[in-house]
Amino acid sequence: MEEENINLILAQYDITVTNIRNECNKGKKAVWWIKTLHGDTILKKHSCSAKTLEFILAAVEHLSNNKVNLPKIIKTKQGTKFIKGIDCCYVLSEAISGVTPNGDKPQELRMVVEQLANFHSASKNFVPPSDCKIRTHLGIQREEFQDQMTKLKNFYDVEHSKPIHSRFGEIILSVFPYFYKRMQLAIAENEKSGYNKWVEADKNLNSLCHQDFTASNLILTKSKEIFVLDIDSIAIDLPTRDIRKLLNKVMKKNGTWDLNLTKQILHWYNTVNPLEPWKWQVLKETITFPHLFVGIMSKYYEGREATWTEDRYVERLKTMIKVDKSIDPILQNFESIIPS
């Protein structure tokens, strides 16, 4: 995007720009820091359709009205929340000053977990605009797991048929049977876990999931408030999707699953957004599925990281295997860590 075009976008706002700095530009998505006489703002280029963006911005408004800290959306001179571009949309919002929460500090990790619980609690009873494009994952977990398992089994079968294997492929051949059983178990547990019961009970609540609620998408201000950023992927779903992703991030950074830390995180969450004990079984089902292993295996065979060497892929695979296998004691003792 050329600077004069950015200026044309910014001219539609009642602001006086003093400086423009491109933070990142990935073609379909981009971010600029915009300095104005009245403070810093952020201009984001979204690749989604206008109808999807209407869903996202309505979710932002609903969450903000229910006391979730989100950057304020700045309206155009015409009073609109975004500007339509060519195959993209632009949104201007306030910039939040602060630091990334440090998950290695128990107090800050607790703040992150409690803010996630607050996010989920505040999201209930969201009413999407009637003409927007709703984004939802509600009720499709079994299909998602099944599709991923089938895809990986095909990769495995192709690898198995090769006369010569890469180092990555040799590791896959040795560990895939274990993870395949884990995938099958998660799918088999879907009905017993109460997932479908929960989906049916919550289908009219329209509870929202951030889908990437991690420290890197949060800002801790000097006043010790946590602001939530980058909700471009927000969707209607059960809260266990976000909880599982947060747990995987924490345990991956930790290098292994920790029973006491897992119990503590579930307790912190439950103090803010209490879940009935049977609903925690849905979390057990979703963490049974080996998401970290699935992610690195898919990335390798789909060639999604063209700049990665074989050594880097192998190193990452070994890390994911170690972390995903270390969850076994958690699964075996899961009932003992369910918040009471």
Which CATH number belongs to the domain containing residue 29 in this structure? 3.30.200.20
Establish if 100 belongs to a structural domain. no
CB-based burial, 255-281: b 16+ in 10 Å, e otherwise: eebbeebbbbbbebbbeebebeeebbb
Domain end residue (candidates: 74, 94, 114): 94
Q: Which amino acid is at 202?
A: D
- Are residues 165 and 43 part of one domain? no
Establish if 101 belongs to a structural domain. no
pTM summary value:
0.94
Q: What is the dihedral of CA 292, 293, 299, 305, to 10 degrees?
A: 70
Helix axes 310-325, 167-192, angle to 10 degrees: 30
> Number of folded domains in the chain?
2
Domain end residue (candidates: 69, 94, 119): 94
Give me the tens of pLDDT residue by residue for the chain, a chain 340 residues long. Answer: 444 488 899 999 999 999 999 888 877 789 999 999 989 999 999 999 999 999 999 999 999 999 999 999 999 999 999 999 888 899 999 999 999 999 999 999 999 999 999 999 999 999 999 999 999 999 999 999 999 999 999 999 999 999 999 999 999 999 999 999 999 999 999 888 899 999 999 988 999 999 999 999 999 999 999 999 999 999 999 999 999 999 999 999 999 999 999 999 999 999 999 999 999 999 999 999 999 999 999 999 999 998 999 999 999 999 999 999 999 999 999 999 999 8
- Are residues 122 and 74 part of one domain? no
CA separation for the pair 282, 292 (Å, rounded):
18
- Are residues 278 and 132 part of one domain? yes
- Are residues 325 and 213 part of one domain? yes
- Domain extent for 190: 106-337
- Are residues 80 and 19 part of one domain? yes
- Are residues 142 and 86 part of one domain? no
Establish if 127 belongs to a structural domain. yes
Q: Which CA distances in Å does 2 have to 33, 40, 48, 266? A: 15, 20, 20, 47
